[in-house]
Structure 1
Amino acid sequence: MKVLLNLKTYRDRNELRSLLAECMWPDDERISRELDRYLMDDSRGLYGAVIHQRLVGLIGIVPCSEEVVELKHIAINPQYRRHGLGTKLIYEYRQSYHPVKIIAETDRDAVGFYSKVGFEIHSLGEKYPGVERFQCILSKDHELMLKGMGL
């Protein structure tokens, strides 16, 4: 089942905004600005999954170079978490756009997800007082791990 849809023309902006808010600091203005950047900037990608006519997951991609992209945002509706949807979105993006490397930055709460998917994890230390951040890197060498998950 293919789930990766381009969300640039998605009909319900409030639904997009609400799901993006799941993975951002809860600041309404900041969330709206970030959504506008995705929708207006052709270099950025916003992709997602719709199940039963409802947006249930999204990933936001920002290019770093021709071969490297940053997975800036990933959000799954709480009712659909822990069913492999986030992994599937990353895998399908990779199969469709063929980046050499996907990088992401996350906190301790989500580092397990990235590790399970096959990203290499590197501590960035305490970027904010009391908050350790991690750089996550998925390169072509790690594609087998995704395939091994039955995707």
Structure 2
Amino acid sequence: MLRPAPALSPEIAALLSRAMFPDPARIARVLAAYRTGPDRAVFVWEVGGVAVSAAGMRVAGAEAEVLHIGTRPDGTGQGHGRALLWAIAAHLKLSRLVAETDEDAVGFYRRSGFEIGGAPDRGGRRRFLCTLTLER
């Protein structure tokens, strides 16, 4: 079940942190931006009342960008992240959802129905622009 997360509990922060470069200062800055950014939103996918996946988004009208998405280690590969993204798109009535990612996560976006294109390499890593176009 989808739940907006206006407050970042330690549990939700830990889920989002799974999708971030492991630098404590950088993670703290990103989490602070989720707490204060007017264009930022965090959503949680719960199963049996337990948060199993969380996504941090930048929202601009009918379009949004997935900035971070993380799933509990014991919940990966079960469709929770995909269900979360599709539920967010429906909840926000999005026409377009995008994400930039690397080779480690591009398969997730492909399996979730996103079209995959190239993006400029960053930090010596190949990057991909993933786009999900939706009917409103």
Q: TM-score, normalization: structure 2?
A: 0.90
Relative distance call for 1:125 and 1:43 in structure 2 (3 A) is: closer
User: Matched residues in 2 for 1:118 and 1:53: separation?
Assistant: 27
Partner of 1:133: 127
Match for 2:14 among 15, 18, 21? Answer: 18
Partner of 2:69: 74
> Runs of at least 4 residues of structure 1 off by over 4 A?
none
Aligned partner of residue 108 in structure 2, secondary structure:
helix
Q: Percent identity?
A: 29
Aligned partner of residue 136 in structure 1, secondary structure:
strand
Partner of 1:7: 5
User: Matched residues in 1 for 2:35 and 2:29: separation?
Assistant: 10
User: Matched residues in 2 for 1:38 and 1:126: separation?
Assistant: 25
- List runs of 5+ in structure 2 lacking aligned partners: none
The count of corresponding residues between Structure 1 and Structure 2 is: 136
- List runs of 5+ in structure 1 lacking aligned partners: 144-151
Aligned partner of residue 82 in structure 1, secondary structure:
coil
Partner of 1:62: 58
**AA paired with 1:138?**
L
Structure 1 or 2, whichever has the larger Rg, is: 1
1:15, CA displacement in angstroms? 1.7
Aligned partner of residue 11 in structure 2, secondary structure:
helix
Superposition map of 1:87-106 within 5 A: 87-106=82-101
Determine which structure has the larger strand proportion and give its number. 2
1:86, CA displacement in angstroms? 0.4
1:52, CA displacement in angstroms? 4.5
Cα deviations across residues 35-63 of structure 1 (Å, max 9, x unaligned)? 11112223211000233543221011102
1:40 matched to 2:36? The reply is: yes
Q: TM-score, normalization: structure 1?
A: 0.82
**AA paired with 1:139?**
T
Determine which structure has the larger helix proportion and give its number. 1
